[in-house]
Amino acid sequence: MELVLVDRPAEGVVLVTLNRPEARNALSVGLREAASDAIRAAGEDERVGAVVLTGAGAAFSAGVDLKELGAPGGPPKPSSRGADDMVRAIVECPKPVIGAINGLAITGGFELAIACDIILASSEARFADTHARVGILPRWGISQRLPRLIGMSRAKQLSFSGDFCDAATAERWGLVNQVFEPERLLPEAIALAAAIAGNDRRAVANLKRVYDGGALLSMEEGLKLEKRLADEHMASVRPEDIAARRAAVQARNRAQASGDS
């Protein structure tokens, strides 16, 4: 059985599915490397405008494969240093990555979810950080990303207790963008990805750069970064490109106003 499934459900969209449902998509080295490869390949593919990441079965991911981690001699080595760094693959992907969180997202699975640019969740999704319960510390960024999403106090509550956060609470806290019934999750995620893929790909990639880069800076430095990237971007934009895009935007707005899309 393939550890990761890669599909193209819509034009410009790649769907990456973690495929160890019998192990609740526990993040073995092999799965992490295969998923990282798929995300990097999508990022390098000019035909791709957005990526959707989800899990097969009832879970998004139960986190690192503790059985593999505790095996005699330790887990297998990846094919090269960093080849299994799935969080880095998500963060560095030049295309937006939408997390479609279909079920449990625990510890390492939680960290994968919050590394995504946009997070949509099934009403059956639940999130938990169990590092403290296991007696280990995080290495994939939850201590830095989670407080930026939901605030320091709430992040500490989740990490210190190891308790679950349900989808409704996650939406209320700003952890996820939207919650859908299970059968609607993937169609909604793919539709959003297709809408993103239909925009100017270079503009979206540079927007991702300025949002992610600016989040690490002061307001003053972030505004400077925005202006610098805007100047670089506009230097290669032709007036006729803007005119064509303007016409497409107007047509889409008319269609949405009439309820056609």
- Each residue's pLDDT, cut to its tens digit, for the chain (261 residues) gives 899 999 999 999 999 999 999 999 999 999 999 999 999 999 999 999 999 999 999 999 999 888 877 777 778 889 999 999 999 999 999 999 999 999 999 999 999 999 999 999 999 999 999 999 989 899 999 999 999 999 999 999 999 999 999 999 999 999 999 999 999 999 999 999 999 999 999 999 999 999 999 998 999 999 999 999 999 998 888 776 666 667 666 666 666 666 655
Class of CATH domain 4-197: alpha beta
Which tokens sit at 149?
A: 């999403």
Cα 184-189-193 angle, rounded to 5 deg:
150
What is the rounded CA–CA span in Å between residue 189 and residue 220?
Answer: 34
pTM above 0.75, yes or no: yes
Give every CB contact of residue 239 below 8 A, 6+ residues apart in sequence. Answer: none
3-state secondary structure of 133: helix
Which of these, 129, 131, 124, lies nearest to 113 by C-alpha position?
Answer: 129
What is the rounded CA–CA span in Å between residue 180 and residue 100?
Answer: 10
What is the rounded CA–CA span in Å between residue 125 and residue 39?
Answer: 22
Residue spans of the domains in the chain: they are: 4-197, 201-257
